[in-house]
Structure 1
Amino acid sequence: MSAELIHALEQIEKEKGIGKEVLIDAIEAALITAYKRNFGSAMNVEVYIDRLTGDVRVFALKNIVEKVKDPATELSLEQAKQFGPDFEIGDVVEVEVTPRKFGRIAAQTAKQVVMQRIREAERGLIYEEFSNKEDDIVSGVVTRFERKNIIVDLGRAEAILPPSEQIPGEVLNVHDRIKAYVLNVKKTNKNPQIFISRTHPGLVKRLLELEVPEIHDGTVEIKTIAREPGSRTKVAIYSKNENVDPVGACVGQKGSRIRAIVEELRGEMIDIIRWSNVPEEYIASSLSPAKVLRVDIDEENKVARVIVPDFQLSLAIGKESQNARLAAKLTGWKIDIKSESQLRAQIEQQLFEKPKTGDEKESADESLFVDETEDKE
């Protein structure tokens, strides 16, 4: 051990941000264990490292007693006077017991401690960095597959993309670069565990914020998102500025902005919906790309009946009811979709099945009586 150690610790402090004193304290604590392990000492010892020269000294702590029973831990008053005239019974004396070959052990121990502390500090920095990125997106490269998990290299750390957070049908290969949403970061004894998602609605939200400046600066606000990963997503947006068209801002010139997001999500369709505080307007917009003729709402039961042209019925409902399902999820309303002809048939059936009133029955009886009289004549 020498002044080179102190210089090295100062460099580590500058580069890694680990305090020199913290490292020296850790080395001293480790050297106590190393001394006892190598020299089989049962005595209480302290290790001191000179902050200027780096020299290491080991001291045994001995209690001053009238009669010595254990020389390893006790010292007589007469012996203590050799170290200073002011000692009394009950005091503790530090007696240097530094072994001759302790320098080599000290250097090896110091190296191990420093490396361990550097690893711990780096793990701490990585944890801090990525815990601050929870609910944000990161970019990484697919490196390998472990069972059904996909491991993604984020640069300073690796992230886990579990099967439940993978887009159904999406095929990823090693070296593919992807963007993902950070779900959570867990601190462990080793490197932090970072869990990411490709299915979370927050991924679409953050991609829109990156691609659309009007969303990033707050002019356009994302109200709600309904997503079926790998298939379709509906996003309800609202413009705080009457002069800014929220749909146009998100779609971009010739669809350039939305196209970039669709490509990142491997072809997942994205419908941009204009949000409205008028339920009828909002529900009608939510069924895009279908055109809606009329919306009747039952506010008490949160049910909306939507009428669409006959040729738009399948489009409004969508394949396997996906469009209607996403619209209901987006708006929070239960949506009943009917075509014009279905509505007309329902109205006719209701009229036909409507029970006749007393006047109607009497009128029917009179007409029958007249008919019978005429027949007799």
Structure 2
Amino acid sequence: MNEEFIGALEELEREKGISKEIIFDALESALVSSYRKNFGTSQNVEIDIDRDTGQIDVFALKEIVGDNEVENTNLQMPVSLAKEKDIKLNVGDVYSQKINPANFGRIAAQTAKQVVIQRIRDAERDVIFEDFTDRENEIITGQVQRTAYGNVYFDLGKTEAVLPPSEQIKGEDYHQGNRFKLLLLEVKQTTKGPQIVLSRSHPNLIKRLFELEVPEIADGIVEIFSIAREAGSRTKISVFSKDEEVDALGACVGYKRARIKAIVDELYEEKVDIIIYEKDIDAFIANALSPSKVEKVFINEKGKSALVIVPDYQLSLAIGKEGQNARLAAKLTNWKIDIKSNSQFDEYLENENISEEEFKTKFGYLSNENLDVEDKEVENNDNLIDESVE
């Protein structure tokens, strides 16, 4: 080793932030292991590298023991012999003797190269870990690199990331070279370096896409209240405006549907319902069930449950295919929702021989019968239904 090597370490410290002292410590430890491996000795050795010149010194370490207690001459030295070398040495001390093993310079050079390469790799992994950890829960663009055992691996430029099966959208085309916007879900530190986990199915992907496409959301003028998602099929997102002059629905849809179209296109035709959030839970529930019309909402605040009455011809629409519309509305509002048609509700009252008021008293319901439901459709788009209750 020489001053040129020291200069190279200083350059590494400046460019990659790898401490020179860390490399020296790692190198000294690695050289001890290399010495034992190459010289096959049971000697205790210590390696010292001069931080200014790069000079490497090897020392054999021996414990000072009584003259009649020597069991291993490689590890121990009788006190009488130690006194000849240094009168101050006593039993229990360690004698350090400089040695010059043959060909150790070549071994040191090889070891130094391996240590530096490993430290550079470790430092780069640390940089990647810190960089991507700071970006957790943000959108990232990646290109499909390969697939293996159900996992999809994306090239992120600096590193590779994985989209596990649980975070994929059923039916999406993950062919090599395809580009996607993904949610950076988690960064894990492993023995092989950082593992970056992505998601296409997480509800926060919807949130981040709206923040990207709708400036009013990014600026905090329009806020997202809640999101209910069944990835690849349908999403409901509730929003409200903090500025009376800004229409939350219009802001999200955009001129000629440009904003919502960009979001839907990125989701590969997943349907998106934009719902106006209302503080009054009955109105919010009615909104959440769009595109169905709602006539009455009975709410039980204690049980956070609601009974919703819809026109007979709207019942299947309110419930949705396989119950999806009702299920998403319940997730969006965080209320239990039971849906009945007008005729079903009237039949129940008749069979029980009670009035509507008696029904409300019996089950602890409050109701709002004057819900003014106005559909606000965004032209004709099979992949987008936007409705609000005003």
Same fold (TM over 0.5): yes
- 1:228-255 Cα distance to aligned partner (Å, 9 max, x none): 1111100111222222222222112222
- The Cα of 1:320 is off from its aligned counterpart by 2.6
Task: Indicate which of 257, 269, 286 corresponds to 2:271.
Answer: 269
Change (3 A) 1:352 1:210: closer
Instruction: Give unpaired runs (5+ residues) of structure 2.
Output: 356-390
Q: After superposition, where does 1:142-157 map in structure 2 within 5 Å? A: 142-157=144-159
- Partners of 1:335 and 1:71 in 2: CA distance: 85
What does 1:52-201 correspond to in 2, within 5 Å? 52-64=52-64, 67=67, 69=70, 70-75=72-77, 87=89, 90-201=92-203
Q: Does the Cα contact within 8 Å between 2:184 and 2:198 map onto a contact in 1?
A: yes
Question: Counterparts of 1:175-254 in structure 2 under 5 Å?
Answer: 175-254=177-256
Measure how far apart 1:166 and its partner are: 1.2
SS at match of 1:4: helix
Write the distance in 2 (CA, Å) between the matches of 1:260 and 1:163: 25
1:315 deviates by: 3.0
Structure with greater helix percent: 1
Q: Any conservation in 1 of the 2:67–2:80 contact (CA below 8 Å)? A: no
For residues 302-338 of structure 1, give each alpha carbon's deviation from its aligned partner in whole angstroms, at most 9, with x where no partner exists.
3333333444444333223322221122112333334
Max Rg structure: 1
SS in 2 for 1:134: coil
TM-aligned CA deviation for residue 274 of structure 1? 0.9
- Kindly tell me the number of residue pairs found equivalent between the two proteins: 353
Structure 1 residues 89 and 294: alpha-carbon distance in aligned structure 2, compared to 1, 3 A threshold: closer
Report if the CA contact (8 A) 2:163-2:197 is conserved: yes
CA offsets, 1:78-113, max 9 Å, x none?
765776675556543322102242111100001111
- Of 268, 277, 283, the match for 1:281: 283
Distance across 2 between alignment mates of 1:155 and 1:238: 37
Percent identity of paired positions between Structure 1 and Structure 2 = 55
User: TM-score, normalized by length of structure 1?
Assistant: 0.84
1:271 Cα deviation from its structure 2 partner = 1.0
Matched residues in 2 for 1:300 and 1:89: separation? 81
Q: Which residue of structure 1 aligns with residue 40 of structure 2?
A: 40
Instruction: Note the alpha carbon deviations across 1:58-96, whole angstroms, 9 max, x for none.
Output: 111234556384543445677657766755565433221
- 1:153 deviates by 1.6
The 1-side partners of 2:139 and 2:90 are apart by: 67
Counterpart-to-counterpart distance in 2, 1:349 and 1:72: 101
Distance in 2 (CA, whole Å) between partners of 1:352 and 1:240 is 43
CA distance 1:229–1:66, shift in 2 (3 Å): closer
- Counterpart-to-counterpart distance in 1, 2:79 and 2:337: 95
Task: Tell me whether 1:304 sits opposite 2:275 in the alignment.
Answer: no
Q: How far does residue 291 in structure 1 lie from its aligned partner after superposition? A: 2.9
Q: CA deviation at 1:343?
A: 4.9
Whole-Å separation in 1 of the counterparts to 2:110 and 2:342: 86
**What amino acid sits opposite 2:274 in the alignment?**
I
Deviation at 1:266, TM superposition (A): 0.2
Q: Compute the RMSD of aligned alpha carbons.
A: 2.7
Secondary structure at 1:276 match in 2? coil
- Alignment match, 2:3: 3
Structure 1 39/258 Cα, relative in aligned 2: closer, same or farther at 3 Å? same
Match of residue 377 from structure 2: none
Counterpart of 2:266 in structure 1: which amino acid? E
For the 8 Å contact 2:236–2:273, the answer to whether it is kept is yes
Q: TM (normalized to structure 2)?
A: 0.82
Q: Which moved more, 1:272-281 or 1:210-219?
A: 210-219
Gaps of 5+ in 1: 354-377
- 1:251-291 per-residue CA deviation (whole Å, 9 max, x = no partner) reads 12222111111111101111111111101211111122233
In 2, the alpha carbon distance for the partners of 1:40 and 1:334 equals: 74
| Worse overlay, 32-41 or 127-136 | 127-136
Taking the aligned partners of 2:239 and 2:184, their CA distance within structure 1 comes to 23
- Verify the 8 A CA contact 1:123 1:190 in the aligned structure 2: no
Deviation at 1:20, TM superposition (A): 0.3
Task: Give the structure 2 partner of residue 368 of structure 1.
Answer: none
Cα gap change, 1:96 to 1:219, in 2 (>3 Å): same
* Residue in 2 that maps onto 1:17: 17
Does the 8 Å CA contact 1:3/1:53 hold for their aligned counterparts? yes
The CA distance in 1 between the partners of 2:312 and 2:330, in whole Å, is 21
8 Å Cα contact 1:295/1:304 also seen in 2:
yes
